Amino acid sequence: EAGVAQSPRYKIIEKRQSVAFWCNPISGHATLYWYQQILGQGPKLLIQFQNNGVVDDSQLPKDRFSAERLKGVDSTLKIQPAKLEDSAVYLCASSLDNNYGYTFGSGTRLTVV
């Protein structure tokens, strides 16, 4: 089966600019997650979707981050405006449910300068 697709792979922007990341999960996976992985740290959940509804966005900085999952399939994560501390790898994952674990995409490495 095809894996979780993410784009772009790399992005460099200046602070205060905006950026968007795209994720296409594995077909049939109802649950989609966005994680932020700062260098030297473990992934931190930003937002969890079940189909096109939000299950958990408690750690999403809502003043600058937004995410949507239209039609319960692919998803976009946006940052506006970006700060230096947003430099990280943004990982998208999908799953049938926890019994199966997650399948991760390769991530988008964001550098804010």
Partner 1 sequence: AQSVTQLDSQVPVFEEAPVELRCNYSSSVSVYLFWYVQYPNQGLQLLLKYLSGSTLVKGINGFEAEFNKSQTSFHLRKPSVHISDTAEYFCAVSASGGYQKVTFGTGTKLQVIP
Enumerate binding residues for partner 1 (CB under 8 A).
4, 31, 33, 35, 40-45, 48, 50, 55-56, 91, 93, 97-99, 101-107, 109
Closest CA to 37 of 113, 96, 108: 108
Closest CA to 43 of 8, 93, 99: 93
Return the number of the residue (17 or 106) whose C-beta is nearest partner 1.
106
Minimum Å gap between C-beta 40 and partner 1 is 8
Return the number of the residue (100 or 113) whose C-beta is nearest partner 1.
100
Can you tell me the distance from the alpha carbon of 79 to that of 25, in angstroms, rounded to the nearest whole number? 20
Return the number of the residue (27 or 41) whose C-beta is nearest partner 1.
41
Measure CA of the first residue to CA of the last residue in the chain; give whole Å: 37
